[in-house]
Structure 1
Amino acid sequence: MASKKKRVAEPMVTETVESDSDESSDDGFDDNEMDNENSTPINQEVQVEFEARMLDDSDFHGVKTLLQQVFLKANINLSELTNTLISQNFVGCVIKQMDIPDDDDDDGMEDDDSDAVFGVMSVVNITEKKDLECVQQVRSLLLDHCKACAKEKMSRFSDMIHDSDKHMGLLLSERYLNIPPHISVPMYDSLIKDMEKCQRKQMKYSFARYVMISKTFRMKSASKQKEEPINFSNSEEELLHEVSELSFTYSVEDDRDTVVGGQWDSDNPMEALRTVMVIPADQLSVALTRIKAELAST
């Protein structure tokens, strides 16, 4: 197979990442996602540079693992969903560490971790691809949770999903917790440009709305009368939530034992959630502008 082409020539972001085994998971729980076998805190800072690349077959395991963070125990054919993303690799990207020549590497062998997938962003047309098993499962998952958790919104949400004239895109933005939110800006910029190119070629990437399943969490409340505020694992998604036209939240508390690469603490005070957001297409760029402004001030 030919070597992968980079979607950008320069690093997307340079950040200081603090490695600590006590770091919280994407859902606010203890989760060592990087398979660290030593429970002793490392407490060191490492400069890491990331870049965006096109998805290819070698990314299958890494992308599927990231998708598992979103869907957990849900009955979704993640293999098919992952292959769908790879098959449309002209849209979206994966985030990997930049290749840095190692002068001490005398045997010429590549580090097994050098090709690890740290993040993925893409979109799937769940209107056009409604006959795919994985898309059928995602649509059913969303409708079932809406009916159970936000019955008053069910009719409107069902109309949106089943509208064959106004296509809906499943927006997927997933990364490991220690990857800073700043990296989301060039990823969204790249995705929007990719979709614009596809639209000029009359490909079906012109959406009326996007639907996103966002990882969220909140403090467990002892009182049923009090509902704690929701926090977003990917902080920039709070601004996407603000421009959404419909949203609802459901608990994945019973699914948390399947967390990637770690174990859940049953005494953790946080409740793992998923927040579904329907975002009008013309509001995605509006939200991105706000995200850029927020991150520029931090």
Structure 2
Amino acid sequence: MAKKRAREADGATGPSEKMAVDGAESSDDEDFDMVNVEFEWFNFDADIDFHGTKALLRQLLDVDASLHDISGLADLILSQPTVGSTVKVDGKETDPYAMLTALNLREHAGNKGNKAVVELVRYLADKAASSSSTGKDSSSNNNNNNNLASVVPELLQAQTSNSGGQAPTVGLILAERLINMPAEISPPMYRMVIDEIADAVEDKEPYEFTHYLVLSKTYQEVEGKKRGRQDPTAAAAAADTTWYFHPEDEVLHRYAAAHGSYSFTKHDESIADSKRAFQEMGIRPQGHMILIEAGRFAEAVKAISDYLAPPS
């Protein structure tokens, strides 16, 4: 199941294509400066990508990264180079700016499983069980939680059991990118992982999933401690609204069996204040999970592609 050294993606960017991103604007009457950046897609490479993969995992797991065996997770991701991809700017030898992969939780968290995955599954089950139903989506007034607590813990519990037959198998999607990376790189990565999983299944490798669990992050705005108080009504509305680091998450919600955010274990209010950059409100990052049945995953990925398609 060999793949190209440089990962080309139809309809977006690739090694021979360029994506224009906005630069600084010198005045209201002048055009934006444009910077052309060439993104390349690569397989994971254990000799090159260990530290970059660890850095992206730490960013994804945020303040709770210290609770996990990040090195163990990175090693596992790199051990399956034909499933998942990285995005780089200056060639294969550099650190990835983005990554996306899928891990078989039943395969790696079952009897005598990978310790790093077993601990992560236990953590996610606990977080799903304690997830709150409060908070509104940034794009609507709909509740941001959809049965996460009633669905995900039991499903994850099944991943650690030895039952065979029709037991569900969850593919954990780990997708993260540097904060200034354009969202348009996301659809090609999702499309490629679908094709790679299909090839792996055809080769009788353990990637036949009944569900996909996308691990992501959201945030809420909180009033900073160092400034004067703002309007209480506005502050309360901001604190009750959930915002997304990855805009594609809101599209995935439409196809989800369950989704919701959860508080990090090691969250500290002072962190939210320190992350405030020249604005009245700080941010409180949260973990986020989106559960999608395998039969709807391709449809959800197509919707992401349509939503984030570059303007014609």
TM-score range, shorter chain: 0.7 to 0.9
Match of 1:163 among 158, 161, 168: 158
Counterpart-to-counterpart distance in 2, 1:88 and 1:54: 9
TM-score after normalising by structure 2:
0.73
Decide which of 91, 100, 123 is 1:121's aligned counterpart. 100
Structure 1 residue 211 corresponds to structure 2 residue 213: yes
Q: Which letter does structure 1 place at the counterpart of 2:80?
A: Q
TM-superposed deviation, 1:143: 1.5
Among candidates 135, 139, 161, match of residue 121 of structure 2: 139
User: What TM-score do the two structures reach when normalised by structure 1?
Assistant: 0.76
Which residue, 251, 254, 264 being the options, matches 2:275? 264
Alignment equivalent of 2:240, drawn from 225, 228, 233: 228
Q: Does 1:200 align with 2:182?
A: no
Structure 2 residues not aligned, in runs of 5+? 25-31, 134-146, 160-166, 224-231
RMSD over aligned CA atoms reads 3.0
- Structure 1 stretch 265-274 or stretch 275-284: which is displaced more? 265-274
Matching residue's letter, 1:72: D
The count of residues paired between Structure 1 and Structure 2 equals: 257
Residue type at the aligned position of 2:287: R
Q: State yes or no: 1:11 paired with 2:15.
A: yes
176 and 98 in structure 1: CA distance in 2 versus 1, 3 angstrom threshold: same
Q: Match of 2:73?
A: 81
Post-superposition shift, 1:44?
Answer: 6.2
In the aligned structure 2, how far is the partner of 1:56 from the partner of 1:63?
10
**Higher relative contact order (Cα pairs below 8 Å, separated by 6+ residues):** 1
Determine what percentage of the aligned residue pairs are the same residue: 25
Conservation of the 8 A alpha-carbon contact between 2:51 and 2:95: no
Instruction: Tell me if structure 2 keeps the 8 A contact 1:214–1:232.
Output: no
Equivalent residues of 1:118, 1:176 under 8 A apart: yes
Structure 1 residue runs without a partner (length 5+): 21-42, 100-112
- The Cα shift of 1:289 comes to 1.5
- The runs of at least 4 consecutive aligned structure 1 residues that moved more than 4 Å come to 150-153, 221-227, 255-259
Between the aligned partners of 1:55 and 1:283, the Cα distance in structure 2 is 26
Listed as ranges, the matches of 1:38-187 within 5 Å are: 45-57=34-46, 58-74=48-64, 75-97=67-89, 99=91, 115-130=94-109, 131-150=113-132, 153-164=148-159, 165-187=167-189
User: SS where residue 149 of structure 1 aligns?
Assistant: coil
CA displacement at 1:69 relative to structure 2: 0.7
Letter in 2 for 1:204: P
SS class of match (1:73): helix
